[in-house]
Amino acid sequence: MNRIFSGIQPTGNLHLGNYLGAIKNWVELQHQFESIYCVVDLHAITVPQDPVLLRTSTIEVTASLLAAGIDPKQAIIFNQSRVPQHAELAWIFNCVARLGWLNRMTQFKEKAGKNRENASVGLFAYPALMAADILAYKATHVPVGEDQKQHLELTRDIAGAFNAMVDEEFFPLPEPQILGQATRVMSLRDGSSKMSKSDQSDYSRINLNDDADTISQKIRKAKTDPDPLPETMEGLNDRPEARNLVTIYAALADCSSQEVLTEFAGKGFGVFKPALVDVAVEKLAPVTSAMRQYMDDQSYVLSVLDEGAERAHAIARPIMQDIRERLGFLGHSLG
């Protein structure tokens, strides 16, 4: 059976990168697979979090998923810390994964930066928890943005090492699904860094709760170059900011980047940016307004998370019990 698992951190406002790289695909996939979508609060605390903000962000992110079109009757939506099997399996995977494997993870290097000695052990072990998230449900497919590809490869390595240890094809080797036009949306201020919630500048990203004026201002101020748009994508090879805006347009308008260039070749950003504003506002305004409605009905959002946690737990618990038996742990977990 095919089953999808994917997660998103409640670490602030969701942005266009999260939407185009992940959530938009999740909405489509929920009809093709049994889907489990998780607000990964255990991942969030790998860096310091304010408890009040973490709680609010968890509700906001859930509201965004609902607003984007994820149907809680179809897909399971819950927050990670409610289902204790994630943390339990993560510990087991900490004992399966090798230090050398984790040492290669580029996200840790980027996030720890120069202050590596002061990074939390949790930030280093983040990919083992991500492997546990996926494999606690024996998920077969994982829709993610390109930045998560390396972590997915590690998940496959961990699954393979565990299978070898118990001498059985216990876990599937989950397949990454890197889908859509915009698998890596870049910052609006710098075409060489990824659009990210934790970027200091709010002008680097379009948040899913930005209003039309804010979206317009951010796109108008986006870094570009003085040249007109070329006829083919090869012409954008050394123009990362221009390429990013063309890709965003294509992903929002559900067409190819080439079709965008066919329409705008020879035109400058004075023409292209207002057109991009129009398509961004048209596509995002319904999500933003639905999100506001969900935020006005937080008891509904909480009930979605409650029900999702029960459904997720019902899948993960027996899988975890099988794992416990294979490892020789005595008795049932109380979680």
Given the residues 24, 73, 138, 197, select the one marked as catalytic. Answer: 197
Spatial distance between the Cα atoms of 109 and 96, rounded to a whole number of angstroms: 21
* Annotated catalytic residue 24: no
Residue nearest to ligand AQP (CB): 21
Which of residues 66 and 320 has its CB atom nearest to ligand AQP in the complex?
66
Closest approach, Cβ 329 to ligand AQP, in A, equals 30
Please state the length of the chain.
Answer: 335
Closest listed residue to residue 20, CA positions, set 260, 247, 261: 247
* Annotated catalytic residue 194: yes
Given the residues 24, 194, 218, 273, select the one marked as catalytic. Answer: 194
Regarding beta strands 34-39 and 3-8, do their DSSP bridges make them parallel or antiparallel, or are they unpaired?
parallel
* Annotated catalytic residue 267: no
Which of residues 19 and 264 has its CB atom nearest to ligand AQP in the complex?
19
Which of residues 21 and 308 has its CB atom nearest to ligand AQP in the complex?
21
Which residues ranging from 99 to 158 are in contact with ligand AQP (CB under 6 A)? 144-145, 147-148
Which residues ranging from 10 to 29 are in contact with ligand AQP (CB under 6 A)? 11, 17-18, 21-22
* By the rule CB under 6 A, 204 interacts with ligand AQP: no
Structure tokens at 190: 């710098």
Which of residues 112 and 161 has its CB atom nearest to ligand AQP in the complex?
112
Phi and psi, residue 38, nearest 5°: -125, 135
Closest approach, Cβ 184 to ligand AQP, in A, equals 5
Sheet of 175-177: strands edge to edge? 76-79, 34-39, 3-8, 141-143, 175-177
Which residues ranging from 180 to 199 are in contact with ligand AQP (CB under 6 A)? 183-185, 194-198
Compute how many residues bind ligand AQP; rule: CB under 6 A: 20
Q: To 10 degrees, the CA torsion angle through 177, 181, 187, 191?
A: 110
Scanning the structure block, which residue is given the tokens 């170059």? 225
Q: Where are the alpha helices (DSSP H) in 41-183?
A: 41-44, 51-68, 85-96, 99-103, 106-112, 121-135, 149-166
Which of residues 129 and 323 has its CB atom nearest to ligand AQP in the complex?
129
Neighbours of 318 (CB within 10 A): 10
Given the residues 24, 73, 109, 111, select the one marked as catalytic. Answer: 111
* By the rule CB under 6 A, 81 interacts with ligand AQP: no
Q: Which stretch binds ligand AQP (CB under 6 A): 2-10, 210-218, 221-229, 277-285?
A: 2-10
Which of residues 195 and 323 has its CB atom nearest to ligand AQP in the complex?
195
Spatial distance between the Cα atoms of 168 and 70, rounded to a whole number of angstroms: 35
Q: Which residues of 269-293 are buried (b: 16+ CB within 10 A; e: fewer)?
A: beebbebbbbbbbebbeebbebbee
- 26 contacts 6 by C-beta, under 8 angstroms: yes
Binding test (CB under 6 A) with ligand AQP, winner from 3, 4, 5, 8: 8
Closest approach, Cβ 10 to ligand AQP, in A, equals 8
- Residues classed as catalytic: 111, 194, 197
Sites of contact with ligand AQP (CB under 6 A): 7-9, 11, 17-18, 21-22, 144-145, 147-148, 183-185, 194-198
